[in-house]
Amino acid sequence: MALPAYCDFNIKCQTPEKLFDLIEVATELGYESVIVNNNLQSLQGSKEKKKDQKIKITPPSEILLNEKSIASLQSKGKKIQQLSRITAVLQDDSNTHKLGNADLQMYDILAVQPTSSKTFQLACETLEVDIICLDLTETIGFVLKRQLLSLAASRGIHFEIQYGPALTNSTVKRQVISNALNLVAATCQKNILISSGAENPIDLRSPYDVINLGRLFGLNHSQAKDAVCKNCRAVLMHAKSRKTCKSVVLVKNISTLESKKRWLLKAYSDELSNSDEDSLKEGEEEDEPEAKKIKLASKDNK
Amino acid sequence: MVRFKNRYALCEVIVPGQENGSINFTKSKLYRAIKQSIISNHGDYGIGALDQSLRVIYINTGTRIVLIRAERKYFHMVTSAIIFIRKIGLHDVIFKTLHVGGSIRQCFKFLIKYHQKSFPSMYQSCQTEDDKIKVLESIIDACDASTSVKALMDKIS
């Protein structure tokens, strides 16, 4: 997995046609990685039907680009990577064990949105998540304590600022700027992500403009650049390590490879056939299956 | 004596859902939109500081490139204000900052390089042989960068 240069962490999940437009504009603006967000209103199951207490969680869907846009991407020499993310709203501190559900773990990135000081403390101290995002369009009902935020930062959790709503009207803009300044001051300008939260293509801005916007939120130039570049990389790494443990290289058996990653095998076999000819000439023998495994893994984990 | 220093921002105006289309607004319309955005974001102080130096230098409706000038000391107000522009006339627009430079000359140098990068995709999208030859000719022309900067500078003045 090649790491992205610029990354937009929050594009609202919608109908395929709309998403399509969004992703196309995002590539035009210079993003190399987009993350499609699915919002989960509550972790609690419905109380009325006892049998259907399971929450309905739609599995992450992948939007396949059509041939025309793929051709236009290829001609420009651009790549785009698409990942999925789920944001769960935490209304109370029960039900948080459901975050470990297999359905939720299928998503690449796990985010929570605490609504009270209790859930915020829980999210900072114990929950195994990648991102904490607060609703900045309304007043935050609790004090952001520096100790809690630095604790979360030391655990590798990042905080998200969404600029999409700020572009719409001036009262929301004021609220977002005041909350963002508050958040940035409390985190000591570290572990901040700036993402769009866009529903329409018009809410997207190019990475360079987002860096300029970051200056309005109290970050300096390099910190703002980190917020769309370096910190995104850290989040993706954190998400990967959440599923495994601390590791450098991941070794996978070929038989467990997902269907969408089969192209790796094919690409590798082509490479292998070329290198086979070379090695035959030199008369060396290699331990092929082992090498195959490790090479694949390193490709997967880059 | 100290020179009065300016900054120039080279921006591309993107109209979502309309690829490679042209824009039809004038310099003054764009200027008014930027001014309005500065007023709403930085207030009276912002417009007071920038009123003397803010100017739209160049606008190309075909390639959708605009060049904006302002004083260096307060330039961050301009770059943060153009983010909030959503509509000019009837167009929904997104401003994409390509480059910020210290002189018009440097900005155009960058612009030429930027356009040169789009040659390969242009060549691929060509339908007829004649178009392909035209693109190839312009690639050869582009190799002599110094003359083309001069030509562009002449066009403005």
Using a CB-CB cut-off of 8 Å, the residues of chain A touching B21 are none
Nearest to B98 by CA among B110, B80, B81: B110
Within 8 A of A209 by CB-CB distance, chain B residues are 79, 82-83, 95-97
> B38 falls in which pLDDT band (50, 70, 90)?
very high
Q: Which SS3 state, helix, strand or coil, does residue B26 take?
A: coil
Structure pTM?
0.77
Query: Which residues of chain B are within 8 Å of residue A28 when distances are taken between CB atoms?
Result: 14, 19
Q: Which of B14, B83, B92 sits opposite A213 (nearest CB)?
A: B83
- Cβ distance A201 to B94 less than 8 Å, yes or no, reads yes
Share of residues in chain B with pLDDT > 70 (%): 87
ipTM topping 0.90:
no
**What pLDDT shows up at residue B9?**
92
Per-residue confidence (pLDDT) for residue B8, from 0 to 100: 93
In this predicted structure, what is the pLDDT of residue A50?
A: 40
Residue B113 has pLDDT above 80, yes or no: yes
A148, two tokens? 């809690």
Mean pLDDT confidence for B15-21:
71
Q: Which residues of chain A fall below pLDDT 50?
A: 1-2, 46-55, 282-296, 301-302
Q: What is the pLDDT of residue B70?
A: 92
Each residue's pLDDT tens digit, B69-84: 999 999 989 998 988 8
Rounded-to-10 torsion of CA A142, A147, A149, A151: -140
User: A14: how many CB neighbours lie within 10 A of its CB?
Assistant: 15
- The size of the A-B interface in CB pairs under 8 A is 59
Give the pLDDT confidence of B124-145 residue by residue, as tens digits. 777 778 888 877 777 777 666 5
Q: Is pLDDT larger for residue B137 or for residue B55?
A: B55
Higher pLDDT, residue A169 or B122: A169
Residue A285 three-state SS:
coil
Give the mean model confidence (pLDDT) for residues B56-63.
Answer: 86
CA distances from A294 to A157, A244, A255, A266, A301 (A): 30, 17, 14, 15, 10
